[in-house]
Amino acid sequence: MTAFTAPRAVVRTTGFERMLLTAANVLDRFVATRLERRAASPRPISAQTAATDARSDAQAMGAVGMLPR
């Protein structure tokens, strides 16, 4: 969230309103941290996809004469 401050504005807030703003700030920070962490992690792939990829890589290597050990 972005907050704009006015240097000469007089704002009277109650303790309840401050508590709500603090809770909203904590939730916002939590969600932002979670989204950053999820964006940085690689997407999971299934075992079948991994096996298919490994097989096609091995076939491609065999087609050019490079056999796996």
pTM (global) more than 0.75:
no
Residue 67 has pLDDT above 70, yes or no: yes
Q: pLDDT at position 2, please?
A: 62
Q: What is the pLDDT of residues 6-59, one digit of tens each?
A: 666 667 888 899 999 999 999 999 999 999 998 888 878 889 999 999 999 988
CA dihedral 4, 25, 33, 3 (to 10 degrees): 0
Q: pLDDT at position 30, please?
A: 95
Q: Judge whether 54 and 44 are in contact, CB under 8 Å.
A: no
Q: pLDDT at position 61, please?
A: 87
State how far the Cα of 52 lies from the Cα of 59, in Å rounded to an integer.
11
Q: pLDDT at position 40, please?
A: 84
Q: Judge whether 25 and 1 are in contact, CB under 8 Å.
A: yes
Separate counts of helices (H) and strands (E) for the chain: 2, 0
